Structure 1
């Protein structure tokens, strides 16, 4: 790490020389006490600990008597010191950026103060100081001075500690912060999934992708029980990453089924808890980041792989946390309360709060509740039932409106409604009964023209409504179009999403699995379909939230909920035999992770020996990086994104946008322009723009927007700006948002990515560019 434009620098392993209590609690709310009672003298005593920020605070209180006489008080309080440091820290760093931190030193004393400002960067796990910069300063009485200290953000770290200390002969002050470090690289994954159902020895080989790649990690997973794939995908969805109804409903589902799986496997839970006690608590990122949710959020936005378990201790701890039933129930309840709060007065749900009720989203939420009942073995409470009945009334009213139209066509909307309504056959249809009968009749007649997904939903629906003959005809039709082979199992070669499709290939496949399971009741076909499904898994999940939820549901629906295993496997990577410990043998699940330093060419060869003719699944994943600045804009496709930066300058005719082709200065206003083009109508689009670390968004509050000819929800986060677009017709659209320049240095801008939420294969990204701030 190198320093720039400062007086002295040193790299050291030692701790700070002077012992100083650093300020590190910067919470913005000191306390909130909603119910305080006075003593016999009418006095209320409030006990609290003041945070460490030096700033102004507002104290507000409301007091009332039993007769509702009341009074209000509002006061401002200032916390300060004689000497204070006020560093201008970014929300995050990016690996490889050359940044200059400016620290204001405030001298509130009546004397001239001379001293030193020390900047330290340290590893928060080991407290090892990686860089120490020392700069002299002089501050006049009752005045401020500014100190600049520069460095290059190191590679291969995801969190860095930052201490800024000012000291004189009379006073000292210091702050300590943990700052996320987002990558200047793109994570790529090459996977070798496999399926073995016969005893004997088999060998697999993972080809190297590129001689210039920078390896990150090699991961081997082998299991004799595919339920582990569902279980290990749960953590990625346990807490919604965005406040949209799809993510929140998914969190409700996975915590519901997680709680059920934990209940059904007490022996596994006890064994994992024992192993955790034997190994001790992990001191790695898991514990650090759980204490700092803001830091964790930035890493999830930009580099979620750093949150994966790095060693066996962390793996056991993450499993123990996964099966913590108190935590599961708390997360489930939190998600339920959010779902309840987002339900509109008409009973429907919208994608984001403030958008109008949406039939598709309402069907999705009810589908989630139904799936939780089937695979989580829970009926829900009275509030949950009333909420679902209210939503059904909304859907019944919508289908009635469709029926009252002159041209009564059967479209995807009605097919989805009939499928969701089939879960709730005990709830009367009321005025929608005639419309429901009409569309059921159309489905019986017209199923031949349906897509794969619509056929699967219709088969399940008709079977539930007592029409098994037609349901089996549809199933036979699906089977005719299926492809079956030893390597991939049973799948549909024409299972491809269209641009307008609201269903990924995973969701189509799992809908067919459900139909075969419910109508046929034969595991032979679903086991073959499971083979294809497990090959599509991408390390932690199936690519996006809806696909992962449906994959978990299909695996739970078509299998048992017991996680333990009796089969013995012999596994070797290259010449290294994988030692199976007690946990691996009992769980029937092996996971071995090799960091970059341990990866060698021979590890690309995997050998597995089985002693029984039972199925085993697994995959070998090679994850590696490509430099962000080397990533080129994706070639023109169905969905396209282009990112450009402009400086906003004031002129006599008003603000003008000038293309960014020169260096910037602190205080400049930059407009980020994202141009989106698509050659067909699409639904539920996610546009994500990763900002450079030197930018601070002008707009700080998330909310619904109506601009550029479309309605969308704009979400402002520390590292990214998200745009969630409900419907985007064919054409070209321009999205813009302003940012302030607030840090000197040289920074790599992030990529803009656009993707269909329900057909994730439709994705495009922009290129990155370097930004210089003088």
Structure 2
């Protein structure tokens, strides 16, 4: 008689084999002793099988040798179960076990099978065998084998089972233990419904499949609701990405300055916002600092660690966990000062910046930095004009891009007659120049020769905007509007509306050609078009719709580059920081149940984003939960989703 713990009738432990590694050992670097010997010590896996032993050796002068032998591991009495790789719920099967006798005597004894829960170690043999006994006698002659069989049925509701099989006689014993997965004979289905809300009042949603479900075999598994009240905070949570980007090129040095000076401005703009920063700083393990992918791990069919998004999730998680440190006002002040000093040192005598030290000045990168300084100034960051160092640096850079634009005009006139000059000669750099210059057109005057070139390219933009990309059209619209030219910007806005795609979930967006060049970047394009519809069209409905798309890109992936992140943050904060100070919570009605996170102590909401999640087990789910109502007090963009899972 053998117990389920592997102890025979005499109270002696039966050796139960559990280690079935396919590689016994691998030692890649062995050295001989003074006698030229190598002694290898290892523990053999417990599979009863034939092993290949292979060795390779070489000397310092590359003389080589190798050895290949076979090793057999066996016992005089061996149980060899024919185990499947997995069980499936409700399957009925015959589990066969071969009992081998390689001794020189006949053996009689008892065999037993035990099923147990691998987590709790509790025996559950009855669930698999029913009324059948778990023990059988066997008799096997010397040098031969026999089989013992058990009829089993796989129960429902288990993910894995431990199987322990033992054969034992008076003088011999053997046992084998394995963990076998149990697959459900049903498929887990996850039905999802997004809850995009961008206006005050009550918005209604219907999950038709749940509401009209009348299946008699469907089994509810889980119902989950999640909602983010103020996703604009994701823009703030992205700031550490550009604060800490490690490279020292001019673009990323400026991005560090941009992020730190902007974060300081945000923190000082409203006590509510500063309070959120303090909460993040004092609760570094807060769920607000978790990756959005990790928050929803239980909704995935696979563990997050096994998905292709793992590195992205871990990287985002790391960045968020550093937020508490990064949003310290003293640290941000020092970092912005350091970045500004470094940026001033990188600026050449003529006002331009090179990509990296030692390279020639870049027209593009200088215009990018001038544009960024214009963005900060437009957001109300007073340091751009009030700090003499910063303002002098800005004026020098503007003089440089004026000179580059003038040079491109001179080069064009050199090779072009009047007919050629009337053609489309405005390129990406000239359009970017007009946009960058528009932020400081009244503050930094240009000389007469520069004005001639400026007027030429302005006229070119008015004439040839139709064959430009959406990104370039947006820059032209903003530049011309600031130069008091209203007709063409209005036409550009009308054209952009005609080409836009509208979606309740994704908002308003454009399908544009994406590529490697700066003027083909979709995030930057949509960020700029937010500025167009805000400033030129004063269309706040369109602005909010484009913000939905922009925030969705952050929700589902990332903004990917320091430049894209900086542009997106600027676009989202264009109307000031009031958007961030909105801490009102939506009230959600699921069927006849009200979820009010503001007054429900069981619901923990994130500081800033107002994100929360609530889940219910399958036995509680009702068809009326297919009706959802979301009531909001503000016009800020919010989103959420419900997930209904069933077998």
Q: Does 1:401 align with 2:407?
A: yes
User: Do the aligned partners of 1:199 and 1:612 also contact (CA within 8 Å) in 2?
Assistant: yes
Change beyond 3 A, Cα 1:376–1:589: farther
* Counterpart check, 1:452 vs 2:470: yes
Aligned match for 1:488, one of 490, 506, 509? 506
Over 3 Å counting, the alpha-carbon distance change for 1:240 and 1:334 in structure 2 is: farther
In structure 2, the partner of 1:340 is 344
- The offset of 1:455, in angstroms, is 0.9
Give 5+ residue unaligned stretches, structure 2.
Answer: 1-25, 31-191, 209-223, 291-309
Secondary structure of 2:382 counterpart: coil
Which has the greater radius of gyration? 2
**C-alpha displacement at 1:512, in angstroms?**
1.5
1:617 aligns with 2:620: no
Bigger shift: residues 406-415 or 557-566 = 557-566
Q: Which moved more, 1:540-549 or 1:385-394?
A: 540-549
Q: Conserved in 1, the CA contact under 8 Å of 2:524 and 2:567?
A: yes
Mapped partners of 1:516, 1:478: distance in 2: 10
Q: Determine whether 1:415 maps to 2:431.
A: yes
- Cα deviation, residue 424, structure 1: 1.2
Q: Structure 1 residue 508: deviation in Å?
A: 1.2
C-alpha distance in 1 between matches for 2:530 and 2:588: 31
1:436 aligns with 2:437: no
Task: Provide closer, same or farther for how the CA distance between residues 275 and 254 of structure 1 changes in structure 2, counting only shifts above 3 A.
Answer: closer
Q: Structure 1's 242 and 199: CA in aligned 2 closer, same or farther, altered over 3 A?
A: same
Question: Aligned pair 1:224/2:229, yes or no?
Answer: yes
1:718-733 correspondence to structure 2 within 5 Å? none
Q: Matched residues in 2 for 1:249 and 1:619: separation?
A: 35
1:589 is matched with 610
Shift of 1:222: 3.7
SS at match of 1:496: coil
Deviations 1:457-516 (A, max 9, x none): 0010001011112221221222222222323222223x2224545331111112111111
Equivalent residue, structure 2, for 1:660: none
2:391 equivalent to 1:371 = no
Of residues 535, 543, 548 in structure 1, which corresponds to 2:565?
548
**How far, CA to CA, are the matches of 1:101 and 1:616 in structure 2?**
60
Structure 1 residues 448 and 619, CA gap change in structure 2 (3 angstroms): same
Alignment partner, residue 63 of structure 1: none
Show CA shifts across 1:538-575 (max 9, x none). 55741222221111111101464342322234499xx9
In 1, Cα distance between equivalents of 2:281 and 2:398: 45
SS for the counterpart of 1:611 is: strand
Asked if residue 244 in structure 1 is aligned to residue 249 in structure 2, the reply is: yes
Cα offset, 1:410, TM superposition: 1.1
> What is the SS of the residue equivalent to 2:581?
coil
Which residue is 1:533 aligned to? Answer: 550
Which is richer in strand? 1
Aligned pairs for 1:597-612 (under 5 A) are: 609-612=629-632
- Partner of 1:410, secondary structure, is coil
Q: Distance in 2 between matches of 1:343 and 1:99?
A: 56
Distance 1:355 1:621 in 2: 53
Do residues 235 (structure 1) and 240 (structure 2) align? yes
1:269 aligns with 2:274: yes
Deviation at 1:220, TM superposition (A): 9.3
Report the CA distance shift for 1:228/1:501 in structure 2 as closer, same or farther (over 3 A): closer
1:308, distance to aligned residue in structure 2 (A): 4.8
Q: Following TM superposition, by how much is the alpha carbon of 1:456 offset from its aligned partner in structure 2, in angstroms?
A: 0.6
2: CA distance, partners of 1:362 / 1:436: 18
CA contact (8 A) 1:227 1:559 kept: no
Mapped to 2, the partners of 1:351 and 1:593 lie a distance apart of 48
Secondary structure of residue in 2 paired with 1:347 = coil
TM-score by length of 1: 0.45
User: 1:258-287, CA deviations, whole angstroms, 9 ceiling, x for partnerless residues?
Assistant: 11111122134336536865x6889xx99x
Per-residue deviation at 1:194? 5.3
CA distance in 2 between counterparts of 1:560 and 1:464 reads 23
**1:151-191 deviation line (CA, Å, top 9, x unaligned):** xxxxxxxxxxxxxxxxxxxxxxxxxxxxxxxxxxxxxxxx9
Report the secondary structure of 1:260's partner residue: helix
Distance in 2 separating the partners of 1:274 and 1:527 = 28
Are 1:514 and 2:531 matched, yes or no?
yes
The equivalent residue for 1:89 is none
Distance apart, 1:251 and its partner CA: 1.7
Q: CA deviation at 1:447?
A: 1.5
Aligned counterparts, 1:109-128, within 5 A:
none
- Aligned counterparts, 1:6-21, within 5 A: none
Residue 333 of structure 2 aligns to a residue whose secondary structure is helix
Higher-helix-fraction structure: 2
Query: For the structure 1 residues 101 and 250, does the alpha-carbon distance in structure 2 shift closer, same or farther, using more than 3 Å as the test?
Result: farther
Compared CA separation, residues 440 and 567, structure 1 to 2 (3 A): same
Residues 325 and 376 (structure 1 numbering): CA distance in 2 closer, same or farther, change over 3 Å? farther
> What is the 5 A alignment of 1:375-774?
375-380=379-384, 381-405=387-411, 406=413, 407=416, 409-425=425-441, 426-430=443-447, 431-493=449-511, 495-498=512-515, 500=517, 502-538=519-555, 541-558=558-575, 560-561=577-578, 562-570=580-588, 584=605, 587=608, 589-590=610-611, 609-612=629-632, 614=635, 616-618=637-639
Selected match of 1:306 from 314, 332, 352? 314
CA displacement at 1:355 relative to structure 2: 1.7
Instruction: Give the C-alpha shift of residue 593 in structure 1.
Output: 12
Q: Distance in 2 between matches of 1:593 and 1:250?
A: 38
Distance 1:257 1:280, change over 3 A: closer
Structure 1 residue 364: Cα displacement:
0.6
Superposition pairs of residues 294-333 of structure 1, within 5 angstroms: 303=311, 305-306=313-314, 308-309=316-317, 318=322, 320-333=324-337
Cα pair distance change 1:229/1:585, threshold 3 Å: closer
Per-residue CA deviations over 1:129-162 (Å, capped at 9, x if unaligned) read xxxxxxxxxxxxxxxxxxxxxxxxxxxxxxxxxx
In structure 1, how many angstroms separate the alpha carbons of the residues matched to 2:378 and 2:462? 26
Question: Kindly tell me: are residues 268 and 470 of structure 1, through their superposed partners in 2, closer, same or farther at Cα, counting changes over 3 Å?
Answer: closer
CA distance in 2, matches of 1:506, 1:570: 31
Which structure's relative contact order is higher, taking Cα pairs within 8 Å and 6+ residues apart?
2
- With over 3 angstroms needed to count, the CA separation of the structure-2 counterparts of 1:274 and 1:348, relative to structure 1, is closer
| Counterparts in 2 of 1:412 and 1:204: CA distance versus 1, 3 Å | farther
3-state secondary structure, aligned to 1:610? strand
Indicate the SS of the match to 2:235: helix
The answer to whether the 8 A contact 2:276-2:608 is kept is no
Where does structure 1 lack aligned partners over 5 or more consecutive residues?
1-97, 103-190, 206-218, 287-301, 623-774
Q: CA deviation at 1:322?
A: 4.6
Q: Determine if the alignment matches structure 1 residue 199 to structure 2 residue 215.
A: no
* 1:492–1:362 distance in 2 versus 1, CA, 3 Å: same
